[in-house]
Amino acid sequence: MKFKINKSSTEAQTQVIFDKVLELNKVEFNGPNKLKIGLGEQAINGKIVQKLAIILAQTANQFNLKALFLPVLISKLEVYDFVYIVTQTIANNDYQVQKIDLKKTKENTLQNVTFESGEQSSIDKALATVNGMYFARILGDMPSNICTPTYLAQTAQDMAKEFSLECEILEESDMLILGMGSLLSVSKGSIEPPKLISLSYQGSGDTKPIVLVGKGVTFDSGGISLKPGAGMDEMKYDMCGAASVLGVIRAVAEMKLKVNLTIVVPAVENMPAHNASKPGDVVKSMSGQTIEILNTDAEGRLILCDALTYAQKFNPAVVIDIATLTGAVIVALGKHHSGVMANDQGLADDLIEAGRIAMDTAWQLPLNDEYDELLKSNFADMCNIGGREAGSVTAACFLSRFTKNYRWAHLDIAGTAWVSGAKKGATGRPVLLLIQYILNQI
């Protein structure tokens, strides 16, 4: 990231003044060297400051301004960690989706923001966070013929070298020995070999680690239960859970936080083939529980269940899985909130609070025995789907059967991980939520 944000400099080309009683979103261009942004008389909070920061960046780019000078009126705005919010928002706004093999990188005009005052630590924290979000967005936006399970594994190995992390990559043969029949049932129809990736950051002695498990389906055709053709190109985003946890550990390592963090990424491609799993097949998971596959397009939970069983080896303090798991969560919550379900209410509350602070929000859905009953099978311990009703909840109920031995939460990010349409692209969510959760535990 070439974008720079500094503290205390007089060399900025442009001065942005936060005036006290101007209407929100009123932007005036006053000559070649000054922007004036106004805030109306209203309750000032993080979201208002975030909107203001976006306006600053967009207006600067509109008028081809290369730098902004920001007098920080924290005492008047009274917003917690104002510098962090503005830095993170403006820097993240600088992200550009790049065409593959583009010779010259496209950049916004605005490339330098300078604060008159404020904590340098807030600036550094924000830039590390944005680096993590950039990382997640870049991986998410990559086409699936480039971003394969092998590519994700190599990316993890490169990160391990850069930040001195512990990295382990399990191959198909390793997973066979461990009995990961559920995960391997998804990958067997693809020519791309599966990978189970783990990265560990040690920043807090022998304390139990936070473990993040990110779904890494690098392309999801639906398998034999083939998806409709329209919009199937967006199934390259089915690895955004994996991208987000890779972004989080990168940010944590860059900030050198005093925490132990491990990420686990089950990475596969889900394709139809002569040897692909079929509806009605029964497979055995690493936990020993058997699963009747009624729909091969409900594949995320099949790879996650083995990864969640594998996560026990790290003796975790908590385990949080992040997955673009169900279209049903979009029906329930739209594109604004990620869905959260948990076997521990305290953990769910902590994630929701972290999302509120980070403005990367989540909403809790139930996880009751009544829904779990829908997973009954005549031929195995469970089915991999529970019918049309409460699809997000029954998917979480399925995962909960593999998380009895630790505190666990599930984030369904199918509605928040990317946007469609003319501005199609990965959002980097829920990197902000997860980093804030980790910060809150220190």
Question: Chain centroid to CA 383: how far?
Answer: 28
Check: CB of residue 407 under 8 Å from CB of residue 318.
yes
CATH classification (class only), 129-441: alpha beta
pLDDT-derived band at 393, boundaries 50, 70, 90:
very high
Pick from 430, 244, 242: nearest CA to 333 = 430
Residue 10 pLDDT: 44
Residue 79 pLDDT: 64
Choice between 132 and 79, residue whose per-residue pLDDT is larger: 132
- Average pLDDT over the chain, rounded to an integer: 87
Catalytic residue (one of 34, 36, 51, 227)? 227
Phi, psi of 382 (to 5 degrees): -165, 160
Choice between 343 and 126, residue whose per-residue pLDDT is larger: 343
Catalytic residue (one of 125, 195, 250, 301)? 301
Choice between 82 and 155, residue whose per-residue pLDDT is larger: 155
Choice between 416 and 47, residue whose per-residue pLDDT is larger: 416
Residue 43 pLDDT: 55
pLDDT in tens, 60-83: 777 676 766 665 444 345 566 777
CATH number of the structural domain 4-116:
3.40.220.10
Residue 36 pLDDT: 42
pLDDT in tens, 28-64: 434 333 334 444 444 567 777 787 788 777 777 776 7
Q: Provide the 10 A C-beta neighbour count for residue 79.
A: 18
Q: What is the pTM of this model?
A: 0.91
* Distance between CA atoms of residues 292 and 301, nearest Å: 12
Q: What is the mean pLDDT of residues 355-382?
A: 96
Choice between 363 and 106, residue whose per-residue pLDDT is larger: 363
Residue 236 known to be catalytic: no
Choice between 2 and 281, residue whose per-residue pLDDT is larger: 281
Q: Is the pLDDT of residue 220 over 80?
A: yes
Q: Provide the 10 A C-beta neighbour count for residue 430.
A: 32
Considering the chain, tell me which residue range(s) the CATH 3.40.630.10 domain(s) occupy.
129-441
Considering the chain, tell me which residue range(s) the CATH 3.40.220.10 domain(s) occupy.
4-116
Residue 24 pLDDT: 37
CA distances from 3 to 83, 93, 127, 142, 313 (A): 16, 10, 9, 21, 40
pLDDT-derived band at 118, boundaries 50, 70, 90:
low
Residue 112 pLDDT: 72
Residue 45 pLDDT: 73
Q: Is the pLDDT of residue 256 over 90?
A: yes
Q: What is the mean pLDDT of residues 6-10?
A: 52
Residue 301 known to be catalytic: yes
Helix (H) or strand (E) holding 321, with range, is strand 318-323
Query: Residue 319 forms beta bridges with which residues?
Result: 211, 408
**Pairing relation of β-strands 34-38 and 216-220?**
unpaired
